[in-house]
Copies of this chain bind each other. A is one copy, B any other.
Amino acid sequence: MQDGDLRHSPFTLKVIGLGSEGRAGVTLKAQEALGSLDAVIGYKLYMDQAEPFIRPGAQKIASGMTAETKRAEEAIKLAQGGLKVGVVSGGDPGIYAMAGVVFEVAAALKVPLGEKAGELSLQVIPGIPALAAGAALLGAPLTHDFCAISLSDRLTDWEKIKKRLDLASQADFVIVLYNPRSHGRPTRLREAADILLKNLPPATPVGVASRVGRAGESAQIVTLGSLNVEEVDMQTILFIGNVSSFVYRDRLVTPRGYVRKYGVVA
């Protein structure tokens, strides 16, 4: 892999977002990056999505779902060995995904980042986040101020998550809930909904988007008061409306307020 140019070039590591809509949701920039690499690393599901764009002959390294630090470290080592390396991520790598852990590991290992020989050129290529694809399926729930909160307490203290839920619902944000439920902590979503119900009326509309961009994709709208937490799983994202959100036909809309201010002609 080493050639004359490399002696004067940085090492290459790209964290590549594949988006949330299968092959059709991949950007041209991500496609071109995948075609230029010597090795691609990722969770198996995302390796399958990246497959059509990977250069023939490139190394493909599929890993398990919870091996994030190991995957990041392996990618950095391979890149420092002279391979052009990519880490693939579903959705956008910068939102609850691999970009953060790659930088965390790079910092812990004191890897010199930069564009000079011997440094690691570490680039993030964004993808369509699940919150944008889920919102599109549901209508337009995110066209005003919003927040994203993960209910996973694997790495975050549950008390801190509860505080965020309380303050976010006081602030009238549209609230996007990631990782709402798992077998290991089946009661978290019920607890979260009860916190939200202290500040929001039971009639608050809630968009439920499941398996966005994958087989079995679905979108439905319920209310906060009637949310059946037993029907929600880890592959679901929830959109809790703000005070202005409304349901029109089968769509969830958070108005920015254009019609209220400017009216319509017809």
Chain A interface (Cβ < 8 Å from any Cβ of B): 17, 19-21, 23-29, 32, 68-70, 72-73, 77, 92-97, 99-109, 112-114, 122-129, 132-133, 135-137, 139-150, 155-156, 160-161, 163-164, 167-168, 170-173, 246, 248-251, 253-259, 261-266
Contact = CB atoms under 8 A, between A and B. Distances in A.
18 contacts: A17-B132, A24-B27, A25-B29, A27-B128, A28-B28, A68-B262, A69-B262, A94-B136, A103-B253, A105-B264, A109-B264, A114-B249, A124-B139, A126-B135, A126-B136, A146-B148, A155-B256, A168-B171
Nearest to A113: B249
Given A69-B262, A171-B164, A149 B155 contact: no
Contacts of A96: 143-144, 256
A70 B256 contact: no
B143 A99 contact: yes
Given A172-B164, A257-B156, A258-B104, A142 B73 contact: no
B136 A124 contact: yes
A26 to B, nearest CB: 6
Given A126-B21, A171-B164, A255 B104 contact: yes
A264 to B, nearest CB: 5
A40 to B, nearest CB: 18
A253 B104 contact: yes
A161 B127 CA distance: 29
Given A23-B28, A132-B94, A168 B147 contact: yes
Nearest to A253: B103
B163 A100 contact: no
Given A94-B142, A253-B107, A126 B128 contact: yes
B27 A259 contact: no
Contact of A140 (B124, B135, B136, B144): B124
A240 B122 CA distance: 22
